[in-house]
Amino acid sequence: MQSDRTETTDISDVSEPTNANAVDETSDSVGAAEASPVHPEQIVQAEGTNDNAQPLPADPQVTPGDGGASEEAARPAPLPAIPPAADLAPSRVGKWWLVLCFSITMLVYVAQIPRLLRFSSPPTGDQPFYLMDTLSLVQDGDLELSNNYAARDEDKFYRLAPHPKDFVGMSAPYPLPAQLSLTPARPPNEAYAAHPPGLSLLILPAWVVGSWFQLWWPATIIAMCLMGALLAVNVFLFAHEVTGELWIALAVWVPTAFSNPIMSYSYLIFTEMPTALLLLYAFRRLALGWGANGPVRLMLIGACLGYVPWMSVRYLPLAGVVGLYATVQWWRYRRTFREEEAQAQATRTETRNRGSIFYTLWFLGPIALSAALTIWFNYYKFGRLLPSAEMNQRGRVETFFWPWQGMDELIKFFNAVIGTLFDRPMGLIIYAPVYLLAIVGLIAMFRSGRRADRRIVGWLALLTLPYMFLIFSYEGWNGVWSPPGRYMTTFVPFLAAPLAMSLMAFSRSWIYTIIYGAFASVSVLMMGVLMNDPRRLWPVEREKIWDWLGQSHEAPFHLDLRTLIPTFVVAPDEVRNPRNTAWLLGGTLVLVLVCYFMMRRANIIRSARPLPNAFHGIIWLAMIAATGASWCFANAHYLQQGTSLVELDRWDLNPYLALPRGIAYLDNRIYVTDYDDRRVGQLELDTAAYRLIQPVTASGRINYTRPGSVGAGPDGMIYVLNNGDGDQALLVMSPNGELVRQTTLNAKGSIAIGLAFGNDKMYISDMTGGRVLVYPVTGGDALAAWTPPERKFNNPGGLAIDGDGNVYVVETSERSVHRFDKEGNLTKKYDLKCDPMFAAISGNWMEVSCGTNLISVNIKDGSSQSGHVDEKYPRLYAPTGLTFGPDGTLYVLDGSTVVAYRVQH
């Protein structure tokens, strides 16, 4: 396809116009047609003045030729000339191309909305809370939500959401649990959301229009699609302004607009995609040069930057970086004018006006107004300048691990770095591999010879790296409940520039064209897989993609990729993760190195000041060393000595357990509890027969309340921690399930899941009371209550007792296990790196179900190590209850499966 531009310059002989008014003033809006082009008579050769690049000599260190092709054939198309004080060339693409890109994007997005409403309904994640703010603004004219929650206004997007005949839907909490911030400046009866109202205001017009047809939530989805389509147009323009090539702009627009994360977040009420639109538009317009923007554009740029913090407080530094870029561009424009003494007086006057302080008020006005409103809003809600970081439901939650406190937090940081890109359920590159080629484009931008390209790279690094460093130090780096690459969504559109430059550099290379086409096709294909069942936008259902790709007859190919891609979020695979991260990181390095050598060998691009080969080698060695160090840190826990779990047998339980909890062994039988479905089951190990046991009295059957745990008592009876009132607190049954007695546990709270026997006593972990209660085996009144010094337990879980009578208390929310002696004195604390639930002890080792794995703790020296299941056996996914048999066999309750292991430390 032919380029839709006129005046250009070769990549090895870049020159820029010296007329500061080369860009005519026109009106525009986000994603609209750009400034007028540079006219041919305004292009002059620049001899090293201002920011113009000088003609570039051939690189004497490069061997021309590419498989026999001439150097001229290998040379890429010329790059567009960049005006002084600018970093981008004005696009001359026809407006109808912009209309076409917007229309196609919007039509494709909107066409998928019925499928979204069929599968991914009602709105989940953070979406309902933004919708509640919008609803309150429309109905009440305020952001106070207490009356809206009381009136169940969420029905407008829950019960009253469209349900087609073939509706599938997905589960969501109802009534909607409030997500509120602490607002000490407001009366205690008032309720306010935990997030700023910026996104809720953006979708407000769509909500109003949707209310005319009782389609409130679907109308807001259309509004999000509109913003996504505008972002796609800005991506198209950004790519065109960097290269001046229409075919390149189209080649970047297609995989960007129709892949994750931009397309995914165009259907969801999240802040990342609209924030990307605001930032990219502002950055693009400033990169075109301060003088390329008239009053209307400057006011729009200022409005975009001023509005960014209203989307989320975490975006304030991003708006600050783009604001700093605006200051630099204004200063460059003023300096350029002072150096152009040969210009006509009329032109000079106009330029002075555009660079004057008065002229900048068009830009500063919206920012100042937004800052003033932000200060007022914060004082109104919180009584202080900055918003509160606390929530009514959880208080202040410390979720950042910076500065790093020891090796464990450093390991978590590098897990987040690699996981953000390559994690199976949440990684950006896994679902859109085309963005991997942006690394190639960054190299091309450095070697292009245009200083403007290097400046853009520098500003993009300043915009993204500090923010992503913060995200990598965040417990929720993966976005928790969201499509893949949530926090990268804000920056992905900026990768249009390096993607475009990679295509420009290899415009004559059929090898790179194939590589780019393959990566782009896979990106679009993976988006199709997500939208085939939009429930896959959410993490739990998304894991089923890999089963679908490997087994479903609907899949375009059958390939089991689950074992080839690492995961750091859902059940990390301690055996395969080191291998999988190694081949992904190594493959990335090899791909980039191959493309780099292709550039040098074919003389595709040449730098104005070529660096010695030794310097290139040092840089690449440093990059290889950094990649290797990242791999070592990310896999440090997996590379340590571990516990070997050799599977001996497994039993699948039917009916399935909704919320499995405790497990006990007695007389070659395993007993398990189901907290949610209120059941207790018995598994015969010899025959694999599984049945539910129901206690019966003379008055009839007794229904379980909330069985949190089960244990084998010293009298050979089965004790069920029932969590009922009065004598329903504890049920004692014979091994066959016959009820022996009902027991009170005075002073116990409503929830307990820890039960253990030893020292002629019974120990109960009172989760709601935050303590361990000591009872006689017959129950009744507590003999003692144990807690850590000067505080209560934070969600005490399972209990275990060693051969010396010491009692071990699992504290789930503090990631630790506490050891008490027989008298209740705290003698040791074992710190873990995950969320423990239950424990069992054999000899000097304590096995702990911890997150998605088992951790072995040496109770003597306090050392710990991960449990490794041999690769030929199914791995653990959700272990909870643990118990040892008399022969040392470890029985693990893993979901609705009981697994027997031989443990080797």
DSSP letters, 440-451, are: HHHHHHHHSS-H
Measured distance CA(670)–CA(666) in Å, rounded: 7
Determine the straight-line distance between the first and last CA of the chain, rounded to whole angstroms: 65
Q: In which band, very low, low, confident or very high, does the pLDDT at 73 lie, cut at 50, 70 and 90?
A: very low
Residue 3 pLDDT more than 60? no
- What is the maximum span of the chain, computed from C-alpha positions, in angstroms? 108
Give the range among 74-83, 231-240, 703-712, 881-890 with minimum mean pLDDT. 74-83
Q: In which band, very low, low, confident or very high, does the pLDDT at 45 lie, cut at 50, 70 and 90?
A: very low
Q: In which band, very low, low, confident or very high, does the pLDDT at 107 lie, cut at 50, 70 and 90?
A: very high
Measured distance CA(237)–CA(288) in Å, rounded: 11
Compute φ and ψ for 117, nearest 5 degrees: -70, -25
Question: Can you give the pLDDT at residue 609?
Answer: 62
Question: Can you give the pLDDT at residue 387?
Answer: 80
Both tokens assigned to 426? 């949440």
Residue 737 pLDDT more than 80? yes
Looking at the chain, the whole-number percentage of residues with pLDDT higher than 90 is: 68
Measured distance CA(585)–CA(733) in Å, rounded: 56
Q: Which of 75-89, 567-581, 630-644, 882-896 has the highest mean pLDDT?
A: 882-896
Give the pLDDT confidence of 508-550 residue by residue, as tens digits: 889 999 999 999 999 999 999 999 999 999 998 888 888 777 6
Contact (Cβ atoms closer than 8 angstroms) between residue 606 and residue 60: no
Measured distance CA(290)–CA(801) in Å, rounded: 72
Residue 44 pLDDT more than 50? no
Q: In which band, very low, low, confident or very high, does the pLDDT at 853 lie, cut at 50, 70 and 90?
A: confident
Measured distance CA(422)–CA(428) in Å, rounded: 7
Measured distance CA(616)–CA(610) in Å, rounded: 10
Q: In which band, very low, low, confident or very high, does the pLDDT at 708 lie, cut at 50, 70 and 90?
A: very high
Q: In which band, very low, low, confident or very high, does the pLDDT at 612 lie, cut at 50, 70 and 90?
A: confident
Q: Which of 513-527, 545-559, 859-873 has the highest mean pLDDT?
A: 513-527
Residue 231 pLDDT more than 90? yes
**160: buried, middle or exposed (CB in 10 Å: 19+, 13-18, 0-12)?**
middle
Mean pLDDT value across residues 165-194: 90
Q: In which band, very low, low, confident or very high, does the pLDDT at 658 lie, cut at 50, 70 and 90?
A: very high
Give the pLDDT confidence of 130-145 residue by residue, as tens digits: 999 999 999 999 999 9
Q: Which of 172-181, 270-279, 328-337 has the highest mean pLDDT?
A: 270-279
Q: Give 537's DSSP letter.
A: G
Q: What is the pTM of this model?
A: 0.79
Helix (H, G, I), strand (E, B) or coil at 618: helix
Question: Cα–Cα–Cα angle for 645, 650, 654, nearest 5°?
Answer: 140
Q: Who contacts 584 (Cβ-Cβ below 8 Å, separation ≥6)?
A: 422, 565, 566
The radius of gyration of the chain's CA atoms, rounded to the nearest angstrom, is: 32
Question: Can you give the pLDDT at residue 353?
Answer: 59
Contact (Cβ atoms closer than 8 angstroms) between residue 882 and residue 839: yes
Question: Can you give the pLDDT at residue 67?
Answer: 36
Contact (Cβ atoms closer than 8 angstroms) between residue 422 and residue 430: yes
Helix (H, G, I), strand (E, B) or coil at 227: helix
Give the pLDDT confidence of 634-647 residue by residue, as tens digits: 998 888 778 889 99
Question: Can you give the pLDDT at residue 33?
Answer: 37
Q: In which band, very low, low, confident or very high, does the pLDDT at 746 lie, cut at 50, 70 and 90?
A: very high
Question: Can you give the pLDDT at residue 412?
Answer: 87
556 or 131, which is more confident = 131
- Amino acid, res. 727: D
Contact (Cβ atoms closer than 8 angstroms) between residue 238 and residue 280: yes
Residue 347 pLDDT more than 60? no
- Return mean pLDDT, the chain: 86
Residue 340 pLDDT more than 70? no
Residue 38 pLDDT more than 90? no
Strand segments (E) across 88-180: none
Question: Can you give the pLDDT at residue 58?
Answer: 35
Mean pLDDT value across residues 551-567: 75
Measured distance CA(686)–CA(390) in Å, rounded: 53
Residue 422 pLDDT more than 70? yes
